[in-house]
Amino acid sequence: MKSLLVTGGAGFIGANFVQYWLNHYPYHKLVVLDALTYAGNLANLEAVKDHPNLTFVHGNILNTELVKELMQHHQTDTVVHFAAESHVDRSITGPDAFLETNIMGTHSLLKAAKQIWLDSGVDDHRFHHVSTDEVYGTLAENDPPFTEATAYAPNSPYAASKASSDHLVRAYQETYGLKTTISNCSNNYGSYHFPEKLIPLVITNILADKALPIYGDGKQVRDWLYVEDHARGIELVLSKGKIGENYNIGGHNEWHNIDIVKLICQLMNEAFATEPELAQRFPDALSVAKGSAESLITFVKDRPGHDRRYAIDAAKSRCELGYEPAESFETGIRKTLQWYLNNEEWWRSVMDGSYQGWVSQQYHA
């Protein structure tokens, strides 16, 4: 039986990973360590809260003693590290929390893993670090996509903090022999995505009849991946990835921001036209009820240091791990939209912080 410590498992990708893992490996022990910041919500794990092999611990990755205690107590053999401050806009207005959690927090986990595994001769272990394609910086329109050999050139405080954490993970592998892997993934979308990021923000703003802010000219490009495909990619890195390697995970799915916003508007217009009860359930959604969600599109001042284009070359993951995204964007975006229409209570409660949680173990971080 494997025993995983999943940091940040109450956030968007972490919670999807936890649900994926418990569905596929219900006999594995899974401990989630999460500080429950604004982005982490126990509501994201409600569906699996009674799983006998899931333990949720409310605590901070900066607390090295707590991490060591958990790893020892649960005989952790695998760390999957998602915990991070993840929103670029917040990293521009307040970078400190990004440096603390993303750099110092990752270092705290590495120190704990080194002591619990290496200093006690535990050979069978893996530290998997979840990173981002944003560490590679930005691409021009016709540049080839990022490969694992692309030099790091982070542009936002968020990306710089993730790049630093990647370097620390690498250093612990090279210097101490910690068995590490890193995945660098493109933009994710899907269920439980906190509505400050583009796709869920646009969906929930349409339902509130609020402006849909497009930064700059809206011609920036992102490569969107369905969140469950990210979980599958990490699963493959854990089972087939080589120690000390980075793996790019991406969706072969580049979109201009403005086009994705227009597509969501069009799909929402269609949903309201075919399901008349939506207009009753969402009485504020006046524009979409009239079939004109796109009238909410509003161009606003650009984000400082805004990366123009991200695109992933996932050939290494395809050749070495057999990785291929399973979900098409066509189906994934419809599923996502439907999920937000069906889960109004979730997005309202995480936005106003009113969810009444459950905790299986409470620690003071």
| Active-site annotation, residues | 133-134, 158
Binding site for ligand TYD (CB under 6 A): 88, 187, 197-198, 201, 213-215, 220, 222, 257, 303
Distance between CA atoms of residues 190 and 310, nearest Å: 19
Q: Min. distance of Cβ 287 from ligand NAD in angstroms?
A: 27
Report the partner that residue 37 touches, choosing among ligand NAD, ligand TYD, none (CB closer than 5 to 8 A by kind). Answer: ligand NAD
What is the per-residue binding string for ligand NAD in 185-204, x denoting contact by CB under 6 A?
x-xx-----x----------
Candidate residues 21, 34, 68, 159; the one interacting with ligand NAD per rule CB under 6 A: 34
Q: Min. distance of Cβ 8 from ligand NAD in angstroms?
A: 3
Q: What angle do CA 351, 67, 168 make, to 5 degrees?
A: 90
Residue 39 binds to ligand NAD (criterion: CB under 6 A):
yes
Which is it for the CA torsion 266, 267, 272, 274, positive or negative?
A: positive
Candidate residues 4, 5, 6, 10; the one interacting with ligand NAD per rule CB under 6 A: 10
Q: Min. distance of Cβ 97 from ligand NAD in angstroms?
A: 8
Report the partner that residue 223 touches, choosing among ligand NAD, ligand TYD, none (CB closer than 5 to 8 A by kind). Answer: none
Report the partner that residue 145 touches, choosing among ligand NAD, ligand TYD, none (CB closer than 5 to 8 A by kind). Answer: none
Distance between CA atoms of residues 282 and 288, nearest Å: 10
What is the per-residue binding string for ligand NAD in 79-108, x denoting contact by CB under 6 A?
---xxxxx--------------x---x---
Q: Which is nearer to ligand TYD, 216 or 244 (CB)?
A: 216
Q: Which residue's CB comes closest to ligand NAD? A: 11
Q: Min. distance of Cβ 157 from ligand TYD in angstroms?
A: 12
What residue has token string 């069009």? 266
Taking the CA atoms of the chain, what radius of gyration do you get in angstroms?
20
Distance between CA atoms of residues 206 and 91, nearest Å: 26
Q: Please classify residue 330 by burial: count the beta carbons closer than 10 Å to its beta carbon, then call 0-12 exposed, 13-18 middle and 19+ buried.
A: exposed
Mention every residue, 6+ apart, whose C-beta is less than 8 A from residue 131.
162, 165, 166, 182, 183, 184, 185, 246
Q: Please, are residues 213 and 240 in contact by the beta-carbon 8 Å criterion?
A: no
Report the partner that residue 54 touches, choosing among ligand NAD, ligand TYD, none (CB closer than 5 to 8 A by kind). Answer: none
Q: Min. distance of Cβ 334 from ligand NAD in angstroms?
A: 19
Taking residue 297's Cβ as centre, other Cβ atoms within 10 Å add up to 16
CA distances from 331 to 42, 200, 204, 256 (A): 27, 16, 19, 18
CA distances from 55 to 22, 42, 108, 250 (A): 12, 12, 21, 30
Candidate residues 4, 5, 14, 48; the one interacting with ligand NAD per rule CB under 6 A: 14
